[in-house]
Structures are given as structure tokens and as C-alpha cells.
Structure 1
Amino acid sequence: MSFQACIDIGGTFTDCLVSDESGRITLYKAPTTPGQFHKGFIDVLHVAARELGMTAAEFIGRIGIIVHGSTVSTNALVERKVARTAVLVNEGHLDILVLREGPRKGAFEWQLDYPEPYISRNLTMPVRGRIDARGKEIVPFENDDVVAAVRKFRKLGVEAIAVGFLWSVVNPAHELRARDIIHREWPEVAVTLSHEINPMPREYKRIIAAVIDASISPIVSTYIKALEGALTAEGFGGQLLLANCVGGMMPVPDMIKRPIYSVMSGPTLAPMAALALTEEPDVIVGDMGGTTFDVSALRNHQLIVTPDSMIHDDSLGIPKVDVRSVGAGGGSIASVDQGGLLHVGPRSAGAWPGPACYGNGNEDATVTDANVVLGIIDPDFFLGGRIKLDRKLAEAAVQRIADRLGIDLLPAAHAIHTTSNHNMVAAIEEITIREGINPRESYFVCGGGATPCHIADMADILQLKRYMIPRYVAGLSAFGGLISDIRWEQSGVAPTDSKRFDPDAVNAMLDRLQAEGERFLEGAGIPKAQRQYEFSFMGRYEYQSWEISVDFNRDKPISHDDLPKLVEDFHKMHERIYSIRADKDVVEFITWKVRAIGHRPEQNLYREFRFEPQKTAPVQKARRALYLHERGDAVDVPVFDGQTIGAGASFTGPCLIETPTFTAMLKDGHRAQTDEYGNFLVEVA
């Protein structure tokens, strides 16, 4: 029997989801190993092998595909532990990375200094030469400036170089010449060109993307090579695919070529899972792990892609699946400030020492400790009993918070629990309302082992009518990776507008981009029958500052006959996002994008495995005291074993449903029923 696996490295646990040829999927977990992520990667494969009754070599040798969501590049950027990088820009434009896009984020913070640029001024060097907006050379390129800059960079210990010149998206000749000179002078240094990594007209976003890509290139390359070496030593001979930030997978050579697409890639897998799990049009996806709560959404059953992701004070530059994160995980630490106000997060106990109940020396109360005190989590059945939690240590930690607040133990634990819930609700409201999605009318898909402990309260706060607790909720991102497509996307600049529409220029750009996508899928080994292409444009009303993304169909070349539909699609999307439309205004089309998708035959395997129908009422495995705030006390509620439940099983709250990887709490008025794949579908009365 052969296997496929997806490994997702989280802040506390590393998840490994394994599927076999029958479509049966099993989740395994091992502690994350910060600083040596490839060690935790191999550790969780060993855990899976033991559970399957095989040796590690036997199991790993049978794996055909491993897909992996890496956090290495994201951590490097967040911690500013990147390669020493320099950048070449046009003469007279040394402040592109200082001034960014001009406006300050706080409109009324008029005394705020500009934050430090991503690349310091002494590593930003000017080059004489200019291309204008029509692609014409108006100032000759000076080769000697590049030579002098490279020699200076070598003396300063630079490890990577980015090149970003004005209007290189129209005529890249100067950037290409700069790269040739750099490689001639210094063949081994990593070089990123802005027009290749992010072809768009806005200088800052194009150049910051090039700089970030260059700065993480040595780090990502080193990590991938170490991981491939560790897998080879374990006997792995299959294909390794890496998650990207546009909601899919890339082969290793393509990720090494464009490492910026690995940034924040892991959290994008959760909405990919939601795409497969439900056909609902508007979906909220909440993934609560040990350190953070990641929230994303589907609009019209499509991924929402944002061009405005931030790393500290800098834009990431490239579009990515819109995922927002807040410090609200199971390990988030509770504290009381001098004014007596309770805070939960963003500081986290992390994988080590972990919550107080882990017994590793942490004495601060965390969300997990509060859930143990409330009776939601059974300390003897955490991870199916593999990890024993200490209830007394949890109570001692929460009691310190209770003493600071001047309340009893159980209300203090509930205060920690509900404060975390409100932090997560605020993140949900931001991403939904901002994107024209009504959370009350949306379907919620839970992700992360901690979310089922909290979703009932959040559903009441958000006034949700329905939500889903997937069978693989504790490894939702890994599940998304297991069933994800191969994805690639690229954009190109072909400005036109609704008054002077130029279909020839648009078609030439789309044909070129689609041909590039065709070459990518060919290199990834995707058969033609499994290839798909999606199209979108970035548009705006005339004189607007910012564009929005609009999808469109293209089964034949675009003509003037298609213009009314393109314009109307823009009006509708603008109205959905901003609640207004201006039908008489000129619509400008700036950037065109092609997304190449390669469908993997393995992705629908999980639908081949269906659960047997539940023929009798679910049997209680135990009863447990559960604190319910609305009743003001702990209530004895039934506990059900989620592993023994078949399709069609029904549960009415208040109750608890336990599996080795998650515990779900249902409140009064919440009724759950399992579907044929073992997912819990909950309706709120």
C-alpha cells in the first residue's frame, strides 16, 4: 500500500496527515522543534510509522508524495533574521524603500517618523539610466555604476542583491543588463529582479517584493536542501511539494526560484480545505493553534487574495491568500494590567515550556489551562492520553489570575476563555465586513485542535446559524495541503480603460502569461487533461488610487463585445466591497493575471472513504462537570467518543465530543449531526 502525506509545522505541534489508497485519512502529531524544524518533520513521520505498525524506513519508503507548509521564511522575516541584502535602484530614487507608498498608516499621527527601511541606505546604491513609462530609454545605462556597487557589496558582506528600476515592467532591458554584470563580477551571489518576481507598475511594491525575495533566498534554499537531505537519509524517494501563499503547491525547484511565495504559506492551506469541505458561497475559516488564531474567508466560494499583506512596517509586495492572524492560541498567556484589566495574548507559552498544565516550568495561565479548569479538556485524554496534563498546575496558574481580579476560580477561567473568544471574533469581523461578507449569513469551518473548544461561544457572539467541525479539524491546514492543487500565478501590465479599450494588447498579455503557466504545469508533470486556467484583472475607477481584483472567464480571445461584462463585473465587486458603484465613471484596467492550476488525482481520494451509518443513539463514554457561564455553575454533561461515531449521529448541547486530537463543546441550542465523511455539522437554534 502506498501513502500520501502532508506535514504542517505549527507553533506548538507539527501535524502529519496521511492518506492511503482507500482514501482513509489519519492525523498524527509531534511537538514542533523550533530552530530545527526538519527534526520535527522527521519526528512526526516516525510517530505515524509507529501508529501504523511499520518501521520508519518501511513507511517513508512507501510515501509517494509529501506536501509541506513551511514557516521558515515567515519566521525569518518576523524575527528579521534574513540574509544581508543590498539593492540597486535608479539614480535619484534612493528613498523608495524609506518613503514606501507615501501615506502614513495613522492619518492623524503627524509627528510619526518614517520607520526604518527594509534595506539600509548604505546598502542601497544608485545606477544611472532611465526607462520611461512607454519603455523608451531616456538616460543611457551606466555599466560602471553596477560594477562599482557590486565591488562595494562584496566588501560589506552582502549575501543577496535585488534590482529594482523604474518601468522595468514595460522594458526590462536595464534590469537584465544589471543581472548580467552582477553575475559576471560575482557569479555565486543570489540576484532577484523586480520585473520578474512582481510585474506591476507600483514601484514600491515591486521593489520591496524583490528585496524580500532576495533576502530569504539563501535561507529557504538552505532549509529545503536540509529537508531533502533528511528525507533521503530516511529512504524517501517520492515527490516533495511545498505550499505557496497563493493557495496551492509548487515543486521544489520553482520554490527555490521564487522563495517569496513560501512566506505565510502554511495558513493559506486552511481555506483550501474549506473549498473542498463545503459548497457554501460565503465561508469563514478559523484556525486556532497553539500560538495564533488564523482567520480567512471564501467569497462566492472563491479564495480572497490581498495585495496588502504586511511584514512589520513593509508590504510583502506580492498578492497572497488573505489570512489574518492574532495572538489567540491555546498557549496564549493571560495577564492582568495595573488597571485590573484582563489581557489574553499575544504572548504565548509556545511549544516549550507550553501551558502551565504541561508541567514544564511555566507558571503563567494560558487558554489551555483555563479550558482544563472549566472541564472542557480532559487532562487524562489530551492527544488521546499521549500527553498527561496536570489539573492542579492549571488551577494554580488560573487562581493567580483570579486573585488579581478578585473573583473565584471558575469565573476567572471563563474570563480567560471568553476574552480569547472576543479577540478571535474581532479578527473575524475585520476580514468579513471589510470584504463585503456578512458574518451572520456565513458558514463557519473550524480549524485547529483548540477551535472546537471555543466555536460555540464565538457562534453565539457572531450570531452564526451554522458551523462545521471537520473530522480533521486539528490538522485542517495539513488536510488542505493533502488535497491542494499545484498552483502558479503571474501578472502583467497592459493598461487600458473602458473608453479606449485595447483588446489586442490585453490578449497579447494574457496569451504570454498563459504560455508561462503552461510551461510551469508541464515542468510539474501535470497532464493536459488536469490543467485549468483562471483569469482576473486589477481595476479601478478613473482617478482612484487603489485597484481591486475581479475574476472573469476567458474561453476565447477578448473582444469589444466582452467589455460590458468586464465593466459590470467590476461595478458589482466594487459595490460588494465598498457598498457603492459609479456606473457612469470610466473603469481603468491596469494589471492582468493568469492562474495556472494543476489538479492532482489524489485530491479527491478522501471522498472514497465513507463512514458507516449510525444505527443507534451515540453511546456516552462518561459524564463530566462543565462550567457553563449562562447557568452560573458547573453542570454534569455527557461526553461522547468521537472515534466510534458513524454517519448521521446526532448530538444536542450541552455536551462534549472527544477524539484523540480535539474536544468539541456544544452549548444549549447547538445541535450537531455527522455527515458521511465524519464531519460534525452544527445548527444553532
Structure 2
Amino acid sequence: MAKYKVSADIGGTFTDIVVEDDAGAVRIGKVPTTKENPALGVLQGIGQLVGDASEIDFFVHGTTVGLNAFLERRGAKTMLVMTGGISDTYTIARGHREELYKLHYRKPEQLVPRRNVHEVRERLAWDGSVIAALSEEDFAPIIEKAKAEGFEAIAVCFLHAYTNPAHELRAREIIKAALPEISVSLSHQVAPEWREVERASSTVMDAYVAPVVELYLRTLKAELAESGMTKTVHVMGSSGGVMTDRLATERPIATLMSGPVGGSIGGCELARRTGIDNLLCVDMGGTSFDLSLVVDGQPEMTSETVLEGLPLLMSIVSIDTVGAGGGSIAWVEAGGLRVGPKSAGSYPGPVCYSRGGTQPTVTDANLFLGRLGDDSLLDGKMKLDSEATGEALTQLGAQIGLSDRELAEGILAISNAKMADAMRTITVGQGIDPRDFTLVAFGGAGPMHAVELARELDMKRVLIPRFPGTFSAWGMLQSDIRHDLMASHIGLMSALEEAVLEAEFAVLEEQGREKLREENVPGEAMAFARSVDLRYQGQEYSINVPIERGDSIAAVLDRFHWLYERRYGHSQPESETEIISIRLAATGSFEHGDDGAAFEPTPGEPQVGTRDVIFDGTNHATPIVKRERLAPGSEMASPAIVEEESATTVVPPGYTIAIDTFGNMLIAAGESA
């Protein structure tokens, strides 16, 4: 019986399915996302590509269920319990303003209003010693309120709990004894780090999305089991590794960026296969535009992030997102054209989908300008209505005095400008020259805009991977199990003994081994990556410095100074350096498919016709090429429209197109581009 590895990426518009068989052959599929129950779309895709779910040997998926619950503010009704005397730190938060000159600035709305933040008497010192014992009688009114007002989740964040979790653990016992069905999140498990505001915010986020994620995973697991799949359900984590559904339920905050991270990990695998180490990855779907960097073959990681103004402490692949996608709606405000962030989604979708959409979108503009054809999507399985698109563009253009062609070009120009600006933010804004990077574009709409986006940033090379429309799902199959652990250790590096550091890493490593053993990872498949957070004395923020087993303190410091100078343009080797925390990434590797075989093209003539396409206001008779028929080593000049099942690649005049050994498409700018 054949065995399959299956991944599913549940997006805002489509659910992407990738199936890899025993021989390493890959098949892909796209089905509309079923928002009322995302599991239905997954099951539909599996049914189309696999048939018998009992033949699935490994299943992993990325989900935005938790993230969407937060963004749409439909998470659990949550209460926060903090140490007596410090509960206002969560409500007051930080005093800085991200936009200094915004006249109508409002602080981000917290997930737990002040009336639902409660205190209990207890106190730990910075080193975890007990100053005041936990007052258990203080929980009585909290439990009474939770019962009376129907709270679904409680977050517990005690001062310095990351150094001694005893009080938080006892708090959970007390709450669960009285409220066995309620979800309880503890700060020392969610974010075992200093900074009370960020730790409380992270714990609240975990509690807020926990019931929603738990219900979704329980439903998906039950429906997959009913269809015949008996294997463990794995979930893509925000840190770039996968975890079992059980551990994802225990720490739902780790799934927030579950979907977009797959593309970043796929980018790392591309870097390994192609030897192109520095990549700017852009994922443009129907709803959003996600960006990430691969530097020296590794994803850019961070230990903290901000979502809609709310700080979170978590190990996460650095991903920026803007509201720009193929479904972004064009609209008029104050006599000017706007595009997005509102999206038509999969239902009703763009006008050309013929599902009831009436407002033109980016996809409609691409269709009108010839970059898409009526039969371009899903190899013609999904027909597009160019006539309805033309009528919608004419009606909207009349409101601002633009012809349908001018409006379509304007929609693309505005959308591209918004995405290019986001690309500058994660490159130029961080002192990185984008010209040193190769643009990797994927998602259903990414390859249509890739070359023009590269031109905006003067990037000379674009890489379109195989199956770009389902690339994030493919990236999930390249991932390994990963757990990130950390321990606070604040002190001067000059006073740190190497034996002490080694002992602390040994403790974390044993914790990592235990977690990997829980997921049935054999010892020989385990690996551990060490790092420390360092800063110059007197600074607030730190830099994460990777270290190897046996590195001396001097070697660690040299690496810190080098990383600091690379990021900020200067360093201070003569200054005292502080260590803030130590971190360990525990990974368990899977067997991945064979990547050594050359791509085999489908027989047939690559060019299947021509179509009039408008580039820079000029009409070009443009070849239409089937990508699966392009053999490795083949080259062609632009303009060209390269179509495949999962995406369409648009290449304006002035570029060359080449196919490499693995079937990736490399697009290089000519002198005139």
C-alpha cells in the first residue's frame, strides 16, 4: 500500500494541499477555504488527491485559526490574575508611541479590560525566593466571578514566576479544582522571561486563543480519524518547526503564525538546494502579503514580536504582513483610488470568479490587462469572467474619470507600491541592501507581481519555485519537530564561568530531550542549537548570539561584537557586556523526500499560444507558456506569461527566464530592465 506525506496550508481564500508519495513525487491541489469549518476544506483536498485517508503516513498543517480569532476579536472571554500591587502594569503597558505625529493616536486595545484584571497576594524576589506566600483565600471571589460571568479562560502572571513557578502551578490547581472546564495559561510556561508587561500580554494572548484553537484541533482530528487517518496530527509552529496537536493545544500561542512560516522554511530548503543563501521571500495570496528573510541559508528569527500593538514574547520566524493580496478590493475615497486592505476573500471573491462579487480587485485588474486569461486558474478548472470584470472596472473608473485600462493599471501600481514599501521596511529599514538578495515569490498571486516588485527595489534576480501557489504547504513538509526553551540568567559576561553556562544548557537540553521523547523522536534524530541573549551594559534590548558546544566566553563575545556591528554599523568591544538569557532549540528530524532527482518535464510544446498583454501602457503580443513543459536548462526571453496549475508568472519585457535542475524558474534582468 502506498504511503503519503500530506501538508495543508489553510489560507484566507484557498486551502493548499501538497501530497508526497514514497518515491518523492509531489502532487498539489487547491480548494476554497471553508471558513465556517476549516477542516472541511482540508478533508475535501485530501479526498481529491489521496482518496483513502488511511494511506496517509504523516500529516502536518498550518492554520491561522488562532491568529484570525485574535484579529477578528472573537477569542475566549478571558480574565487575568496578577501579583497584588502590580496588576496595572498590564493595563498601562508601555508609554512609547509607534507613530509620534499621529494626531488621533489611540493606545492598542488590550484583550482583557481593566475590570477583568484581578490580584492575589503573593510575592517572589528576583531570584525566586519567597517574600510572601500565596494567599489561597484570594481566589474565592475570582472563581465566583468566573462562574457568574461565564469566563472561558484565565491567564495567570505572577511577578518573577519564571524563576520559581510554584505559586503559578498552585494557582492553576486551585482554579481547576473549582472550574475544571476552564482554560488556564501560566506565564512561566508561555513566556519564561523578564519584562512583566510583555509576559502578561503573551499569557493573555495564549489564554485568549486557547479555547478556539483547542476546539478547531479537536474537530479536525476527529474528522480526519473518521475519514480513516490514524496518524498523529502535526501543526506548524511559529518558530519554524512542527509539533503534535497535543502540544499545540497546550501552548496555542505557538501556532499564531503557523501558516506563513511554512514559506520561510521552504525558502531555507531552496537556499540549500540552489546555493543561493540570501533570499527575500514574499508570499502573496488572496488576502495578505507576507515577507521574510533568509540570511546565510537560515530564517531570520526573533524572540519577541508585536501584533496590532500588543507585545508578545515568543520564538518566531520574523514575518511582516500587509493587507495586499489578489482579492484586495479597489475603492474610491475623496476622489482618489484606494486598494485594500479589505479583501473579497474566496466568497464572494473577485468579480471574475462569478460568485457574487461586484467590486473590482487586484485579480480583476490582472485579468483585464491580459496577465491572466479566462482559463488561467487551476489549469482551466476555474473559469474567469473577463466581461463582468470589464463592466465593474468601467463603473468604478467613471467615478474618478479614468478609463477601464487606466483604472486597471492604477490598481496594480498602487498594490505594487504598497508591497514594495513593505519590502523596503524589512531590508533598507534594517540596514540591508535588497540588491544583495534574490526575490523568491510564491503564493497564488506572488509570481504575477514578482518581477515588477523586484524592479521597484532594483533587485536583479527573481526565483519562482516549483508549485509556487502551494509553496508554503510544501515548506511544511521540509520542517522538523522543534521546541524552543529558555532560562533567564542576568549578569556580567566577565563574571560568568563557562562551567556554569554549560550546566544551565545541560538542564535545558534534558528538558528538550523529554519533549522530543514525548513526540516519539529517536535519540539519533535529536539535535540542539544553543544561543544566548547579550547586550552592552546599560542597554535595554539584546541580540541573540548562536554558540557552539565548547565555545569559550571570549569566542561568544567576539561573535556578539561582530553581530552588533553588522546590525547597527558599530560595536563597543571595550564596554562591559551583559547576558540576559540562554536559549535552546531542540529539534527532531524527519525523513524528507529525495531531492537529488532532476525535474522531469511533461511532454509537449511549451508555448501554447499568445495573448495581448499590457505592460507599461503598451500592448504586447505575449507568448503563453506551460511551465510543466519547460525542461531543466531551457531558456527563453520575455515578455512571457508562464502558466501552471497553482499560479501564473508574469515576466515583462527585458528579462531572461531559465529553468534549473529542480524545476525552479530563475528570472534575471537584462540591461534594459
Q: What's the CA shift string for 1:357-394, capped at 9, x where partnerless?
A: 11122221100000001101111232111111100111
Q: Is the 8 Å Cα contact of residues 652 and 666 (structure 1) preserved in structure 2? A: no
Tell me by how many angstroms 1:615 deviates. 11
Tell me by how many angstroms 1:609 deviates. 4.1
Q: Is the 8 Å Cα contact of residues 22 and 608 (structure 1) preserved in structure 2? A: no
Deviating more after overlay: 68-77 vs 128-137 = 128-137
Give the counterpart of 2:264 among 264, 271, 275: 271
One-letter code aligned to 1:23: G
Alignment of 1:318-357 (within 5 A): 318-338=314-334, 340-357=335-352
Give the counterpart of 1:229 among 199, 222, 233: 222
Tell me by how many angstroms 1:573 deviates. 1.8
Alignment-derived partner of residue 622 in structure 1: 609
Give the counterpart of 2:308 among 312, 330, 333: 312
Q: Is the 8 Å Cα contact of residues 614 and 648 (structure 1) preserved in structure 2? A: no
Q: SS at the partner of 2:556?
A: helix
Give the counterpart of 1:598 among 588, 597, 618: 588
Alignment-derived partner of residue 450 in structure 1: 445
Q: Is the 8 Å Cα contact of residues 12 and 351 (structure 1) preserved in structure 2? A: yes
Distance 1:110 1:488 in 2: 43
Q: What's the CA shift string for 1:591-639, capped at 9, x where partnerless?
A: 11100111111x2x151442248999x642101101011xx32110111
Deviating more after overlay: 317-326 vs 590-599 = 317-326
Q: Name the TM-score, length of structure 2 as normaliser.
A: 0.95
Q: What's the CA shift string for 1:428-482, capped at 9, x where partnerless?
A: 1111234442111101111102111111111111111212101111011101111
Distance 2:373 2:524 in 1: 49
Alignment-derived partner of residue 255 in structure 2: 262
Q: What's the CA shift string for 1:404-425, capped at 9, x where partnerless?
A: 3433322321221121111111
Q: Is the 8 Å Cα contact of residues 602 and 629 (structure 2) preserved in structure 1? A: no
Give the counterpart of 1:586 among 570, 576, 586: 576
Summarize the Cα distance change of 1:469–1:543 in structure 2 as closer, same or farther, 3 Å threshold: same
Summarize the Cα distance change of 1:390–1:614 in structure 2 as closer, same or farther, 3 Å threshold: closer
One-letter code aligned to 2:173: D
Distance 1:451 1:281 in 2: 20
Q: SS at the partner of 1:86?
A: strand
Distance 2:419 2:225 in 1: 41
Distance 1:113 1:415 in 2: 32
Long gaps (5+) in structure 1? 50-55
Alignment-derived partner of residue 78 in structure 2: 85
Tell me by how many angstroms 1:261 deviates. 0.5
Q: Is the 8 Å Cα contact of residues 232 and 245 (structure 2) preserved in structure 1? A: no
Q: Is the 8 Å Cα contact of residues 97 and 119 (structure 1) preserved in structure 2? A: no
Distance 2:102 2:366 in 1: 40
- 2:143 matched to 1:155? no
Alignment-derived partner of residue 53 in structure 1: none
Alignment of 1:119-158 (within 5 A): 119-158=112-151
Summarize the Cα distance change of 1:681–1:614 in structure 2 as closer, same or farther, 3 Å threshold: farther
Q: Is the 8 Å Cα contact of residues 82 and 215 (structure 1) preserved in structure 2? A: yes
Alignment of 1:148-547 (within 5 A): 148-278=141-271, 279-338=275-334, 340-547=335-542
Distance 1:666 1:85 in 2: 50
Distance 2:27 2:347 in 1: 26
Tell me by how many angstroms 1:108 deviates. 5.0
Deviating more after overlay: 145-154 vs 218-227 = 145-154
Q: Is the 8 Å Cα contact of residues 25 and 606 (structure 1) preserved in structure 2? A: no
One-letter code aligned to 1:627: I
Q: SS at the partner of 1:646?
A: coil
Distance 1:152 1:349 in 2: 41
Summarize the Cα distance change of 1:113–1:659 in structure 2 as closer, same or farther, 3 Å threshold: closer
- 2:611 matched to 1:607? no
Q: Is the 8 Å Cα contact of residues 132 and 138 (structure 1) preserved in structure 2? A: yes
Aligned-residue identity in percent: 32
Tell me by how many angstroms 1:96 deviates. 2.0
Alignment-derived partner of residue 572 in structure 1: 562
Q: Is the 8 Å Cα contact of residues 147 and 182 (structure 1) preserved in structure 2? A: no
Distance 1:670 1:410 in 2: 24
Q: What's the CA shift string for 1:494-517, capped at 9, x where partnerless?
A: 112233224344223211111111
Summarize the Cα distance change of 1:5–1:593 in structure 2 as closer, same or farther, 3 Å threshold: same
Q: Is the 8 Å Cα contact of residues 127 and 145 (structure 1) preserved in structure 2? A: yes
One-letter code aligned to 1:259: P
Alignment-derived partner of residue 6 in structure 1: 7
Distance 1:536 1:405 in 2: 56
Q: Is the 8 Å Cα contact of residues 118 and 314 (structure 1) preserved in structure 2? A: no
Q: What's the CA shift string for 1:532-590, capped at 9, x where partnerless?
A: 11112222111111122222222x3x5xxx12221122222222222221222211110
Deviating more after overlay: 12-21 vs 203-212 = 203-212
Q: SS at the partner of 2:491?
A: strand
Alignment-derived partner of residue 33 in structure 1: 34
Distance 2:332 2:476 in 1: 39
Tell me by how many angstroms 1:400 deviates. 2.9
Q: What's the CA shift string for 1:306-352, capped at 9, x where partnerless?
A: 344223231233231111111110000112321x3322110111111
Q: SS at the partner of 2:495?
A: coil
One-letter code aligned to 1:322: S
Q: Is the 8 Å Cα contact of residues 530 and 585 (structure 2) preserved in structure 1? A: yes
Deviating more after overlay: 344-353 vs 582-591 = 582-591
Q: Is the 8 Å Cα contact of residues 199 and 312 (structure 2) preserved in structure 1? A: no
Q: Is the 8 Å Cα contact of residues 88 and 164 (structure 1) preserved in structure 2? A: yes
Long gaps (5+) in structure 2? none
Computed over aligned residues only, the root mean square deviation of the Cα atoms, in angstroms, reads: 1.9
Deviating more after overlay: 344-353 vs 526-535 = 526-535
Distance 1:665 1:112 in 2: 40
Distance 1:613 1:395 in 2: 36
Give the counterpart of 1:651 among 628, 632, 636: 636
Summarize the Cα distance change of 1:111–1:133 in structure 2 as closer, same or farther, 3 Å threshold: farther
Distance 2:103 2:389 in 1: 46
Q: What's the CA shift string for 1:85-135, capped at 9, x where partnerless?
A: 112111111212212233233345698554443212222111112111122
Q: SS at the partner of 1:580?
A: coil
One-letter code aligned to 1:424: M
Distance 1:606 1:334 in 2: 44
Q: SS at the partner of 1:634?
A: strand
Q: How many residues align?
A: 666
Q: Name the TM-score, length of structure 1 as normaliser.
A: 0.94
One-letter code aligned to 1:620: Q
Deviating more after overlay: 569-578 vs 69-78 = 569-578
Alignment-derived partner of residue 49 in structure 2: 48
